[in-house]
């Protein structure tokens, strides 16, 4: 018996595929016999002259809301016209069951609820959102996010204008003024609290009730140390926001259908994302610190537009509960509104995002301890092959008590015909979760959903995406600079907050708030940028029918090599700390282990993106060379110049400071610059970093 064909048919209607095989499939060769799981083709008469028997067995099964088909040969050699039969079967099936990209139905909320509107198309999603405490509001939020995202993807050349430039000089007497105005209260409040404790007048504007989150956050102790070093948290306060700390995390990709050289053992990373943060408690603590430092929070207030003048930015917003318009002005506007940011869409309307991870999930409790031990987490896991044109990946993290936070996501090509659907993903989530973790959904307690669009930008260099405008800068997901593996805007912000704070403080002190100055304040790392090829390799090109096991085979090749390395090296790679030599050594090992890998990547990426990636690799190589030549002395020299250079030429000082940080960060050594401080850090409320 030999497997000769493996297909994924992008439909959950397995019964329709079986009906087609048994009724409409009419092969020109062999005698078709229907079976309970498909059909078989008998060639015994054709081979009678040679005294042999030949048979092709075709069977189908359902998994992950899709249909899979395999063909096995029951004879020593190919049956007559075997290649023609298989190619014809493949073409006919793909024509009969093409990729489908369902659209959410339009909803008139004056006439129907979100539940009644979506029950027909997303029955499981409605069923389990109804069991959540704020399920109706949360599902409405999911629908809003999806519609907002679809609109932005389909009209990237005509983004809504929300930022204008003006030459008006005077500030209205009744308008309050701030140094910094943050839009977005999740990542925004963390950085806002840091800057307020440095003595700046800070306002935070949040569209939702303050402290609400669509996602949970995980991090490691070493990474969170950045916030402790900046004085935002004490060690005791950090311990108070830890919901759970697990003992080990696993990375494992489905390999039952992979050849032997594309199988891999479980990769264990006990100190990667092993700290589950109580996001609500963290945000409220940051809000408390922000207010204690003199800052303000306008909750349930929606940003409308802003006008940028020579000396300030004016902002208009609406208080949603009352409908009252509010106006405010400040020296600098910080966009932390995430993927739905109208500002980010306007600044990069010609080129938005290169990829996105539609991500859904939930915080649940009531899991059988025999199914999952709360001491362990799944960092990256797949339990099946490509499903409806996507490689689905799971994450599972222990939370407080017996709670678990579970995510389902996939890397997705941003395309107007298929922008990516949160609602489709949620229907997948509730259907597939019992397959992934043996559980009874009705026996679980559904605490809250977690969802969002996590964008990705394939950076060629440090300045090929706009993150700033005059008197405006972006952080977090709005800047689209997260890792292609596991870190979102939260991870990027925490890892980069020392340099972002130092550089922004320098710019504010010297009023260096033009776009050319603010563009230097970004969380770019060339060692992270070069790894976008990994996320591209996990992304099934739109409309293509790849071998179902292709993505898992590629992932197992790389993660199998990581599993053979020292725990320190594996952790550095997963945490975006890998330098030039480890990266190249792993790439060479992967090519030797799986010689077809380069062809697979070329097939999925194409020549255009391959050339772009070579540009990223060249930038990484150049940065590694600069670090080798300058890393041992240049940052120290820059700090030595600070007392006189900052006073004589603050613009040059900002440029040199940004370059010195880049030398360390671009090769995965973000703590190097902080180690250059020769004195202990004093009280953050009395220091300019």
Least confident window among 127-136, 138-147, 468-477, 489-498: 489-498
The contacts of residue 188 (CB under 8 Å, 6+ apart) are 182, 204, 206, 334, 336, 337, 475, 476
Structure token digits, residue 552 = 């898992």
User: What is the pLDDT, as a whole number, of residue 157?
Assistant: 61
| Alpha carbons within 13 A on the beta-carbon side of 636 | 6
Share of the chain above pLDDT 90, in %: 51
Q: 10 Å Cβ neighbour count for 681? A: 12
Nearest CA-CA partner of 453 in 354, 539, 356 = 356
Q: Among 455, 464, 460, 461, which residue's Cα sits nearest to residue 488?
A: 455
Look up the CATH number of domain 2-96: 3.30.310
DSSP H helices, 185-319, are 187-197, 221-229, 235-240, 279-292
Going from N- to C-terminal start, the domains of the chain cover 2-96
Token pair for 121: 């198309």
Query: Is residue 321 scored above 70 in pLDDT?
Result: yes
What are the pLDDT digits (tens) for 157-194? 666 788 888 776 655 554 568 999 999 888 899 999 99
Please provide the average confidence, as pLDDT, over all residues in the chain: 86
Least confident span in 75-84, 211-220, 247-256: 211-220
| Residue whose C-alpha is closest to residue 357's, from 460, 231, 485 | 485
Question: Pseudo-torsion of CA 426, 432, 437, 443, nearest 10°?
Answer: 70
Binned at pLDDT 50, 70 and 90, residue 305 comes out as very high
């Amino acid at each position: 018996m030999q497997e000769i064909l493996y297909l994924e048919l992008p439909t959950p209607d397995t019964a329709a595929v079986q009906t087609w095989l048994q009724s409409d499939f009419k092969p020109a060769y062999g005698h078709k016999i229907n079976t309970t799981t498909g059909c078989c083709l008998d060639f015994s008469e054709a081979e009678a002259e040679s005294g042999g028997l030949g048979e092709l067995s075709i069977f189908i099964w359902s998994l992950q809301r899709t249909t899979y088909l395999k063909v096995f040969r029951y004879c020593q050699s190919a049956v007559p016209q075997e290649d023609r039969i298989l190619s014809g079967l493949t073409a006919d099936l793909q024509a009969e069951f093409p990729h489908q990209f369902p659209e959410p139905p339009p909803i008139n909320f004056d006439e129907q609820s979100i539940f009644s509107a979506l029950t027909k198309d997303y029955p499981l999603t409605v069923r389990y959102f109804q069991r959540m405490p704020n399920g109706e509001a949360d599902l409405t939020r999911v629908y809003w996010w999806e519609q907002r995202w679809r609109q932005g993807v389909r009209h990237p050349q005509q983004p809504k204008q929300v930022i204008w430039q003006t030459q008006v000089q005077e500030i209205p007497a009744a308008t309050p003024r701030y140094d910094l105005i943050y839009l977005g209260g999740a990542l925004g409040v963390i950085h806002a609290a840091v800057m307020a404790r440095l003595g700046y007048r800070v306002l935070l504007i949040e569209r939702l009730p303050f402290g609400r989150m669509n996602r949970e956050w995980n991090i490691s102790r070493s990474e969170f140390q950045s916030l402790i070093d900046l004085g935002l948290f004490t060690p005791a306060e950090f311990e108070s926001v830890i919901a759970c700390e697990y003992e080990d995390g696993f990375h494992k990709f489905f390999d039952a259908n992979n050849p032997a050289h594309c199988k891999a053992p479980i990769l264990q990373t006990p100190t990667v994302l092993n700290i589950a943060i109580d996001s609500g408690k963290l945000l409220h603590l940051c809000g408390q610190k922000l207010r204690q430092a003199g800052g303000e929070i306008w909750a349930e207030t929606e940003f409308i537009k802003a006008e940028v003048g020579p000396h300030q930015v004016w902002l208009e917003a609406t208080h949603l509960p009352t409908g009252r318009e509010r106006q405010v002005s400040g020296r600098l506007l910080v966009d932390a509104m995430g993927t739905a940011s109208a500002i980010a869409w306007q600044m990069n309307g010609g080129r938005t995002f290169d990829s996105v991870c539609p991500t859904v999930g939930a915080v649940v409790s009531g899991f059988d301890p025999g199914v999952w031990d709360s001491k362990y987490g799944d960092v990256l896991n797949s339990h099946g092959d490509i499903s409806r044109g996507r490689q689905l990946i799971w994450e599972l993290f222990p939370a407080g008590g017996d709670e678990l936070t579970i995510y389902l996501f996939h890397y997705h090509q941003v395309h107007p015909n298929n922008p990516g659907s949160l609602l489709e993903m949620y229907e997948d989530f509730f259907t597939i979760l019992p397959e992934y973790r043996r559980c009874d959904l009705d026996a679980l307690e559904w605490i809250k959903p977690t969802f969002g669009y996590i964008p990705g930008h394939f950076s060629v260099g440090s300045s090929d995406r706009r993150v700033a405008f005059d008197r405006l800068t972006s952080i977090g997901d709005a800047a689209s600079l997260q890792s292609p593996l596991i870190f979102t805007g939260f991870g990027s912000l925490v890892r980069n907050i020392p340099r972002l704070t130092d550089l922004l403080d320098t710019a504010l002190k010297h009023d260096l708030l033009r776009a050319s100055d603010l563009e230097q304040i970004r969380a770019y790392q060339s060692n992270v940028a070069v790894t976008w090829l990994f996320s591209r390799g996990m992304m099934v090109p739109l409309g293509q029918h790849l071998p179902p096991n292709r993505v898992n085979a590629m992932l197992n090749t790389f993660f199998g090599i990581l599993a053979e390395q020292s725990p320190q090296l594996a952790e550095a790679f997963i945490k975006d700390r890998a330098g030039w030599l480890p990266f190249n050594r792993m790439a060479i090992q992967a090519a030797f282990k799986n010689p077809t890998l380069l062809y697979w990547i070329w097939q999925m990426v194409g020549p255009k993106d391959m050339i772009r990636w070579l540009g990223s690799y060249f930038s990484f190589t150049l940065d590694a060379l600069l670090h080798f030549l300058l890393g041992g002395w240049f940052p120290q020299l820059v700090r030595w110049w600070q007392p006189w250079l900052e006073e004589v030429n603050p613009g040059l000082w900002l440029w040199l400071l940004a370059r010195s940080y880049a030398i360390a960060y671009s090769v995965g050594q973000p703590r190097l610059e902080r180690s250059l401080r020769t004195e202990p850090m004093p009280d953050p409320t009395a220091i300019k970093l």
